[in-house]
Structure 1
Amino acid sequence: MEFFAKSGSAEKQKTGCLILGVFDSRKLSAQAQLVDELSDSYLSTIVRSGDMEGKLGQTLLLHKVPNLNCDRILLVGCGKEREFEVSKYQKISAKIIRILDETGTSDAVNGLVTLNVKNQDLYWKIRFAVEAANDALYRFDQLKSKTSEARRPLKKMTFLIESRADLTQSELAIEHANGVSKGQSLTKDLANLPGNICHPTYLAECAQELAESYDNFSVNVLDEAELKAMGAGAFVSVSQGSEQPGKMIAMEYMAGGKDDKPLVFVGKGITFDTGGISLKPGAAMDEMKFDMGGAASVFGLMKAVAEMKLPINVVGFVAAAENMPASNATRPGDVVTTLSGQTVEILNTDAEGRLVLCDALTYIEKYDPELVIDIATLTGAVIIALGHQASGLMSNNNPLANEIESAADMTHDRVWRLPIWDEYHDQLKSNFADFSNLGGRPAGTITAACFLSKFTKKYRWAHLDIAGTAWRSGAKKGATGRPVSLLSQIVLNRANKAS
């Protein structure tokens, strides 16, 4: 689908469908009022009749409105005008796309970007609308023998802006949104693929394809044998139980200054997690294909950054392995030596994400990073704490945590910070190694981050636990594409600050 912006007045538009807002208590938006005047009060008559009250998410499709060049008008309820904010704007932006796609409209003009959305300028309103539209249009059907297509799919949407002076800003918003959306789609595709297709070797091949598609992009892959030889004992303890060899995948996008330190993003890539010897219950185990959601988000980020051609240095690093209960799999009670030289007693082989990540977090010291953010579907405990609305944030650096929180507010891809105080580290004590990989049930999300923090003392680091936000269960089961929008905004903010 293509997106454009143009200046003009709503009543003069020639299009398959014109989208206009109506607020609660039947108040027409400014653009709708102009159309109403030209149509001899057609809209206000409809509204007064009670067919459209303006409640949030309410829609009404009108045909052959008098004196207009458009085929149809879609009236959209925006709720109370003073309470019209980002989440409500995103909700209706997604809904109108689904309605237009279902009704066979091939092109539309969107007048909603002229509405006042709390604390958002035109750039954000257009970017939110494009990202919401692309998300609504996403389908994962490549593994089905038959796919259903819209009878006349929506191909073009034009955002109606008030002034030509806003055109540059609007086009930039579309460019950024399309880049982020392409990254989100890649993230969803990778996470939605089953474990028999998307394994560590598949991810390595995907990285190579990205390197071939974009400038300033290179890839280096470390296989399991190399990792074992270099002493990455924690990583190998997870990967050794599978016939699929584990891999660490480094994607380097270097479009910034030669001496600029890179931003490094590390993703947990457990392509399927049985729990290992500490076997998980069978119910819903199929969803453990989503346990590489952190890695998938790093792939999505790298694609987004490359699509936007940002002048910055970014490294996407993925620790990819499959956790299986084979005869050579790690046993509970085994002690392994990490790449950092620290030893770990493995009390539970289902606490494997932190084991692959700790060696990755040691390896990326070689980049002398400006900052490091790891992204992982690490603990079920974060769902108990935060539900499915916010990702858990933990960090050893307050300014970095603030930076992430600011980007989360900007994108509405929310996070909530949890502490990693020294007192929590006591739960990781071991009688047989430097520490264990399990802190018990209390504060499980926090103690997992405390474990990772033992390997991040040489740089500014933050950890995002996305176990509650990376995918949905139930009838709408599938990857969400989070937190690609958040990660992309962190990079965008850095690139804008440097320019």
Structure 2
Amino acid sequence: MDFEIINGDIAALETECLVVAVAPEGQLSPAASAADSASNGYLQEILAGGDISGKTAQTLLLHKVPGLTARRVLLLGVGKEEERNNRNYRKAITAAMGVVKSTGISHVIFALDGVLTDDTDQYRQLRHLVEWSGQELYLYDETKSKKADPLKLEKFSILCAEEDTDLAEQALLDGTAIVNGTSIARDLGNLPPNICTPTYLAERALELEAEFEALTTTILDEDEMAELGMHCLLSVGKGSEQPSKLVVMQYNGGVEGEAPHVLVGKGITFDTGGISLKPGDSMDEMKYDMCGAASVFGAINAVCEMALPINVVGIVAAAENMPSGHASKPGDIVTTMSGQTVEILNTDAEGRLVLCDALTYAGRFNPASVVDIATLTGACIIALGHQASGLMSNDDQLAQQLLEAGVQAGDRAWQLPLWDEYQEQLDSNFADMQNIGGRPAGSITAACFLSRFTKEYRWAHLDIAGVAWNSGKNKGATGRCVPLLTQYLLNQSATEE
């Protein structure tokens, strides 16, 4: 589907559907007002009739509006001024796209004038329109015998003033890149675990390398990881027939030798819990335990498409956690790449075991910052539900930058403490640390574990267990935190440039 920015007289726009905004008490947005004037007050007449009140996300589809070339006009409710925020903006866009999809039109023009949100940044308003509309068009049919019908919507246009065209074009390009990155993350998350294995992730990384000239990919196999001393990561995949992989994607868009920003993703392609076996109920959803890795793939793809003037490294620690005669056992002690030893008390706390070695590996790049992303703890769902990612960091400035990026991207995080007092819960009688700290503050102690491998650089941890996928009727990967990560890197590239 093609996205485009257009200018022109709203009455003369040729399209199958023109979307304009209306508010309570008969208020019209500037574009809607222009359409109303061209139709000799037809839209106001409709509003006066009470068919639509202008509440947030209300819709009314009109046909053959007099004075307009557009075949249809979709009135989209934006609510009262005090109700306009990004949350309701997204609701309205979702409602509009629902009508567009169900109508089966091939071309739509959105003329919303930036009146749907209290965010005054026009670039972000337009970018979110592209992002959220594009995400509503996502469809997974990779493993279905009958493929979905081809998308009927072929062209998505946004009307803006001529003097705003350059800004709008940039918003469109960036928004499209984020949509594509999010879709990649969702595809990887939704694939079944018999297809999406550590080897499959490695192959996808090599495909990205072939697609983008600025990207270089390196795959470390189990022998190479053993030579580096990554026995903690390797311990997780011991019970599986699938070999573990460390995937390293280097994007070189900045000055040669400039310190890169590193993203590290947990890539457990299926998590049975190992010997500490999970309950059978909903275990199928443990294919989503690689969504941290998926978000790294998505963010790297977005950065490549945007051609950001920045250096970025994406590291994916990929393994499958299975029970077998070769699997790690509770009580085993393993040595990490850093030389520290870990007593494995619960094999289902495996994400931190693969991440700790990947984080040590990240140090060789002398990074400007390191952010790891992982579906790490169920405790984070208890703490924050399914709305925000949990954020913990050893650097307050980095934490604030990520929080701000989350707000800007509409992909929010919430910071939790990382105090030294929590570290004591990881004390072990037999090793330098144990891999669990008990039920209290489970998300925090997991981050405390990781912090022991990140003392040499600025680091933050995003626990996305509550936001990476939806369960129930709408089961599927969400693609978070691709928008947050991409916004963070956009902000860093602007600062460095």
TM-score by length of 2: 0.98
Q: CA deviation at 1:98?
A: 2.3
Q: CA deviation at 1:188?
A: 0.4
CA distance in 2, matches of 1:386, 1:11: 47
CA distance in 2, matches of 1:312, 1:230: 28
Provide runs of 4+ in structure 1 moved above 6 Å: none
Tell me which residue corresponds to 2:153.
154
Tell me which residue corresponds to 2:48.
48
Tell me which residue corresponds to 2:131.
131
Letter of the structure 1 residue corresponding to residue 383 of structure 2: A
Tell me which residue corresponds to 2:30.
30
CA distance in 1, matches of 2:239, 2:266: 17
- SS of residue paired to 1:240: helix
Q: CA deviation at 1:412?
A: 1.3
Q: CA deviation at 1:431?
A: 0.7
Q: CA deviation at 1:82?
A: 3.0
- SS of residue paired to 1:311: coil
Tell me which residue corresponds to 1:236.
234
Aligned residues: 497
Q: CA deviation at 1:246?
A: 0.3
Tell me which residue corresponds to 1:430.
428
- SS of residue paired to 1:126: helix
2:457 is aligned, of 456, 459, 475, to 459
CA distance in 2, matches of 1:402, 1:121: 20
1:341 is aligned, of 326, 339, 342, to 339
CA distance in 2, matches of 1:33, 1:390: 38
Tell me which residue corresponds to 1:69.
69
Within-5 A mapping of 1:252-291: 252-291=250-289
Structure 1 position 355 matched with structure 2 position 366: no
CA distance in 2, matches of 1:124, 1:234: 42
CA distance in 1, matches of 2:253, 2:41: 55
Please list the CA deviations of residues 2-23 of structure 1 after superposition, one character each: whole Å capped at 9, or x if unmatched: 1111223423322111101111
CA distance in 2, matches of 1:38, 1:321: 61
CA distance in 2, matches of 1:465, 1:113: 36
Within-5 A mapping of 1:75-224: 75-115=75-115, 117-149=117-149, 153-162=152-161, 164-224=162-222
* Aligned CA-pair RMSD: 1.1
Question: Does the CA-based 8 Å contact 1:218-1:251 persist in structure 2?
Answer: yes
Tell me which residue corresponds to 1:382.
380
Please list the CA deviations of residues 356-375 of structure 1 after superposition, one character each: whole Å capped at 9, or x if unmatched: 00011111111010100000
Letter of the structure 2 residue corresponding to residue 417 of structure 1: Q
Please list the CA deviations of residues 179-202 of structure 1 after superposition, one character each: whole Å capped at 9, or x if unmatched: 111111110000100110000000
Letter of the structure 1 residue corresponding to residue 481 of structure 2: P
Please list the CA deviations of residues 314-346 of structure 1 after superposition, one character each: whole Å capped at 9, or x if unmatched: 000000000000101000011111111101110
Please list the CA deviations of residues 431-469 of structure 1 after superposition, one character each: whole Å capped at 9, or x if unmatched: 111110000000000000000000000000000000001
CA distance in 2, matches of 1:460, 1:466: 20
Please list the CA deviations of residues 257-302 of structure 1 after superposition, one character each: whole Å capped at 9, or x if unmatched: 0121000000000000000000000000000000000000000011
Question: Does the CA-based 8 Å contact 1:9-1:160 persist in structure 2?
Answer: no
Work out the percentage of aligned pairs sharing the same amino acid: 53
Question: Does the CA-based 8 Å contact 1:266-1:298 persist in structure 2?
Answer: yes
Letter of the structure 2 residue corresponding to residue 35 of structure 1: A
Letter of the structure 2 residue corresponding to residue 161 of structure 1: C
Tell me which residue corresponds to 1:15.
15
CA distance in 2, matches of 1:259, 1:498: 14
Please list the CA deviations of residues 131-152 of structure 1 after superposition, one character each: whole Å capped at 9, or x if unmatched: 01110000011111112326x7
- SS of residue paired to 2:331: coil
CA distance in 2, matches of 1:266, 1:149: 36
CA distance in 2, matches of 1:488, 1:439: 32
Question: Does the CA-based 8 Å contact 1:9-1:31 persist in structure 2?
Answer: no
- SS of residue paired to 2:239: coil
- SS of residue paired to 1:21: strand
Q: CA deviation at 1:113?
A: 3.7
Tell me which residue corresponds to 1:307.
305
Please list the CA deviations of residues 167-226 of structure 1 after superposition, one character each: whole Å capped at 9, or x if unmatched: 111000010011111111110000100110000000000000000000111111111122
Q: Which stretches in structure 2 are left out of the alignment for 5+ residues?
A: none
1:403 is aligned, of 401, 404, 413, to 401
- SS of residue paired to 1:3: strand
Q: Which stretches in structure 1 are left out of the alignment for 5+ residues?
A: none
Question: Does the CA-based 8 Å contact 1:24-1:56 persist in structure 2?
Answer: no
Letter of the structure 1 residue corresponding to residue 104 of structure 2: G
Please list the CA deviations of residues 450-489 of structure 1 after superposition, one character each: whole Å capped at 9, or x if unmatched: 0000000000000000000110000000000100000001
Question: Does the CA-based 8 Å contact 1:200-1:271 persist in structure 2?
Answer: yes
TM-score by length of 1: 0.98
CA distance in 1, matches of 2:386, 2:8: 40
CA distance in 2, matches of 1:121, 1:85: 12
Question: Does the CA-based 8 Å contact 2:88-2:117 persist in structure 1?
Answer: no
Q: CA deviation at 1:347?
A: 0.4
CA distance in 1, matches of 2:10, 2:443: 51
- SS of residue paired to 1:25: helix
CA distance in 2, matches of 1:494, 1:428: 34
Question: Does the CA-based 8 Å contact 1:233-1:338 persist in structure 2?
Answer: yes
1:324 is aligned, of 322, 345, 368, to 322
- SS of residue paired to 1:281: coil
CA distance in 1, matches of 2:382, 2:114: 39
CA distance in 2, matches of 1:145, 1:403: 44
Q: CA deviation at 1:116?
A: 5.7
Letter of the structure 2 residue corresponding to residue 134 of structure 1: G
Q: Which moved more, 1:109-118 or 1:408-417?
A: 109-118
